[in-house]
Structure 1
């Protein structure tokens, strides 16, 4: 939801502050500066301190930064910095969530867990696109950032309460003794030295470069749609905020069904190989 709130709010914000397309693009893109730079550090932090703690802090950082957007909107350096912080908080979260899944979910359930968790990204995009227009029209564009930021802070507080007294995320799930030994061995393998990775063979692999290429193209199209479709429909096709949001919701809506379908395929292949 916090990825797309600015995509809708940027339209009335640009009108209010007299921003050109270049300035609006600067505000939009500043999120990705933090999002890109925090990916690798996020993986290292999750491996070192555990995904649970990194996820908590990431959500808190980006939620506070989101709630500060209306306060800093008239001060461009502060606004850009707040969006960078949103990107940093969200950038560490995928690695943290993946680490949390790896540490707590049985192997046979991981594909389902990954599709459920990361499918939430598309669900959030859909919810953000649908909620933002009526909030802006009834309470002003500032309400989107206040409400979404408070939701994240509430999640952080609830997560603290629910996890209080539970064992650390570094513990494995309840299972047999042999299963625990196998899980501990897996964690030890994950903790091996980075020097053991065959980097030369890794980057010579055609499959690796194929995945990099596909991921880059997919992400480029995905985030371009999330960031700019509402503006395009509003400015070029003269749709109002609600109409622009309803059309923009189609790509993430399709993503929800594709993610679940891919999860089903993965589970079928896992069954065949097992």
Structure 2
């Protein structure tokens, strides 16, 4: 049997690679656009094509994990996304081939996170889940930080070669170190749920408002996060005059995101175990901080034209967003412990819609408004506020499925 700490860190390192691979293209697209002469709309479709693959594999990945096991599915997932990253320089000359490659990257990463949620719901004790999800999100942010610091010093081709190769190395370690003790169909929990119903009708996953509150909160969080992740290097370069060296500043928000994610996880668990707060109160508090805070600061971000001040506001924005890992993201294992992978897959599928929309929609809003980004940020803030209201009023922490 794997120790929870071993399971945690192996999965967190996978998320490190996952997140790093997502950041490479937003950085590389600046020199790639100069080389291949793409227009704003072409850039938008390249950035958003990842989300097309990502949205299509979430539920498939969660269902396949229950049948074939977490080890097999995570192996396939990381191999797929690492291969599609490594091969980008070989087909980048064709924007259509590049878009297909980005779709495949999304397919691989879409299989991965639901698999990790499934593994966590089985192998991490409930009193440690807030910090586990905090570390998971934090390692993802560290991956984005490392990519943001390293990539500006490399040619755009070597950005993809380096991080693709790291993914292949992780697969070898995972296969050797992680031992899956249960069968592919039989469920084995470190802490069995109160009711372990494996025969749940698919309608049950969309018939409960507490589940919809999680889905909507996740959608809202991702709306602003996708805009920042996909467009921040372009915004800093084209609107604020950032040079190649300044692009490393895009690492600062991810450093804050990782630090806050880990601290928030420990604080949430402490409020539950030491202060005797209810799990629901803690989930609502953390989600409120994670949605309202970024909503306010993204408005401040839109009002400044100074590079250091803009980086400060977006850093606070992403830092506060990390509190969601101890909020609605941890809520899956409580409302559906036997089906956390599937509920997360549904949630992440819906939350990937902003990833598809934010590329072409941002390009259209900026182009039609004469280069102004204010409409983009105002919409993002409004979505965050609505998501917070829905989650706080409709969420639950009792088992539903």
Corresponding residue for residue 218 of structure 1: 221
Corresponding residue for residue 251 of structure 1: 253
Corresponding residue for residue 191 of structure 1: 198
Runs of 4+ in structure 1 over 6 Å off: none
Q: Are the aligned partners of 1:39 and 1:92 in contact in 2 as well (CA < 8 Å)?
A: yes
C-alpha distance in 1 between matches for 2:214 and 2:237: 34
Corresponding residue for residue 15 of structure 1: 34
Corresponding residue for residue 107 of structure 2: 88
Corresponding residue for residue 123 of structure 1: 142
Structure 1 pair 194–265 and aligned structure 2 pair: CA distance change class (3 A): farther
Paired residue total: 255
Structure 1 pair 62–91 and aligned structure 2 pair: CA distance change class (3 A): same
Q: Are the aligned partners of 2:123 and 2:190 in contact in 1 as well (CA < 8 Å)?
A: no
Q: Are the aligned partners of 2:125 and 2:190 in contact in 1 as well (CA < 8 Å)?
A: no
What runs of 5+ residues in structure 1 fail to find an aligned partner? 172-179
Structure 1 pair 47–74 and aligned structure 2 pair: CA distance change class (3 A): same
Structure 1 pair 187–35 and aligned structure 2 pair: CA distance change class (3 A): farther
TM-score for both structures, normalised by structure 1: 0.84
1:219-238 equivalences under 5 Å are 219-238=222-241
C-alpha distance in 2 between matches for 1:185 and 1:134: 48
- Secondary structure, in 3 states, of the residue corresponding to 1:193? coil
What runs of 5+ residues in structure 2 fail to find an aligned partner? 1-19, 280-401
Q: CA deviation at 1:106?
A: 2.7
TM-score for both structures, normalised by structure 2: 0.59
- Secondary structure, in 3 states, of the residue corresponding to 2:234? helix
C-alpha distance in 2 between matches for 1:234 and 1:91: 30
Q: CA deviation at 1:64?
A: 0.2
Shifted more, 214-223 versus 25-34: the winner is 214-223
C-alpha distance in 2 between matches for 1:3 and 1:133: 15
Structure 1 pair 194–119 and aligned structure 2 pair: CA distance change class (3 A): farther
Q: CA deviation at 1:91?
A: 1.1
Q: Which of 57, 66, 83 is 1:38 aligned to? A: 57
C-alpha distance in 2 between matches for 1:123 and 1:237: 25
Q: Are the aligned partners of 1:100 and 1:169 in contact in 2 as well (CA < 8 Å)?
A: no
Structure 1 pair 238–65 and aligned structure 2 pair: CA distance change class (3 A): same
Corresponding residue for residue 337 of structure 2: none
Q: Are the aligned partners of 2:32 and 2:156 in contact in 1 as well (CA < 8 Å)?
A: yes
Q: Are the aligned partners of 1:41 and 1:92 in contact in 2 as well (CA < 8 Å)?
A: yes
C-alpha distance in 2 between matches for 1:116 and 1:235: 34
Corresponding residue for residue 168 of structure 1: 181
Instruction: Tell me how large the CA RMSD over aligned residues is.
Output: 2.6
1:133-148 equivalences under 5 Å are 133-135=152-154, 140-148=155-163
Residue 102 in 1 paired to residue 102 in 2? no
C-alpha distance in 1 between matches for 2:77 and 2:263: 29
Q: Are the aligned partners of 1:52 and 1:169 in contact in 2 as well (CA < 8 Å)?
A: no
Q: CA deviation at 1:210?
A: 4.1
Structure 1 pair 192–80 and aligned structure 2 pair: CA distance change class (3 A): same
C-alpha distance in 2 between matches for 1:269 and 1:193: 33
C-alpha distance in 2 between matches for 1:11 and 1:198: 41
- Secondary structure, in 3 states, of the residue corresponding to 2:193? helix
- Secondary structure, in 3 states, of the residue corresponding to 1:168? coil
Q: Are the aligned partners of 2:88 and 2:101 in contact in 1 as well (CA < 8 Å)?
A: yes
Structure 1 pair 194–268 and aligned structure 2 pair: CA distance change class (3 A): farther
Q: CA deviation at 1:148?
A: 0.6
